[in-house]
Chains A and B, each alone.
Chain A
Amino acid sequence: MKNSDPRYPPLGFGLGLRVDYYEALLATAHPVDWFEVLSENYMVEGGRPLQYLERFRERYPLVMHGVSLSIGSSDPLDTGYLGELKKLADRIEPAWISDHLCWTGVDGTNLHDLMPLPYTAEALRHVVERVRRVQDVLGRRILLENVSSYITYAASALTEWDFLSEVARQADCLILLDINNIYVSARNHGFDPHTYLAGVPADRIQQFHLAGHEQGDALIVDTHDAPIVDPVWSLFGEAVRRFGPVSTMIERDDHMPALEELLAELDQARSIAGACLSVAA
Chain B
Amino acid sequence: MSQLRELQRAVQHSVLHKDPTPALAVVADGQGAPAQSRLDVYMHGYGARLSEVLRNDFNGLFAMIGEPAFDALVVAYVDSHPSRDFNVRWYGARLPEFLRSSQPWSDTPALSEMAALDWAIGLCFDAADEPCIDAGALQAIAPDEWPVLRLRLRRCVQRLRMNWNVGDIRRALDGEGDVPQPARLPAGRGWVVSRVGVKIFHRELPDDEEAALDSIAEGRTFSEVCGELAQRHEADAVAMRAVLLLRGWVDNGWIADLST
Contact = CB atoms under 8 A, between A and B. Distances in A.
A81 B42 contact: no
Contact of A154 (B9, B16, B28): B28
Contacts of A155: 3, 7, 26
Interface residues of B, number: 48
Interface in A38-66: 40, 43-51
A115 B42 CA distance: 8
B259 interface: no
Given A152-B27, A219-B41, A112 B127 contact: no
Contacts of B37: 218-219
A164 to B, nearest CB: 17
A73 interface: yes
Interface in A93-119: 103-113, 115, 117-118
B49 A112 contact: yes
A74 B5 contact: yes
Chain A interface size band reads 35 or more
Contact of B89 (A44, A105, A153): A44
A82 to B, nearest CB: 10
Nearest to A148: B41
A126 interface: yes
A272 B7 CA distance: 41
Interface in B1-30: 2-5, 7-9, 11-12, 15-16, 23, 26-28, 30
Contacts of B42: 111, 113, 115, 150-151
Contacts of A78: 86
B46 A153 contact: no
A222 to B, nearest CB: 10
Contact of A126 (B4, B12, B88, B89): B4
B180 interface: no
A47 B129 contact: yes
A189 B27 CA distance: 12
Contacts of A111: 12, 15-16, 42, 46, 83
Nearest to A189: B30
A151 B124 CA distance: 41
Given A47-B125, A47-B126, A68-B87, A154 B41 contact: no
Q: Chain A interface secondary structure, helix, strand, loop or mixed?
A: loop
Contacts of A135: none
Interface string B221-242: 0000000000000000000000
Contacts of A70: 86
A123 interface: yes
Which residue among A47, A117, A122, A153 has the maximum number of chain B CB atoms within 10 Å of its CB?
Answer: A47
Nearest to A254: B52
B85 interface: yes
Nearest to B40: A150
Contacts of A106: 5, 8-9, 12
Interface of B: 2-5, 7-9, 11-12, 15-16, 23, 26-28, 30-33, 35, 37-39, 41-42, 45-46, 49-50, 82-89, 124-130, 155-156, 195, 198
Top 4 closest pairs, chain A to chain B, by CB: A46-B129, A44-B126, A74-B5, A218-B33
26 contacts: A40-B86, A40-B87, A40-B88, A40-B89, A44-B126, A45-B128, A45-B129, A46-B127, A46-B156, A68-B87, A73-B8, A74-B5, A106-B5, A106-B9, A110-B84, A112-B50, A113-B45, A115-B8, A115-B42, A118-B26, A122-B4, A150-B42, A152-B27, A155-B26, A190-B30, A219-B38
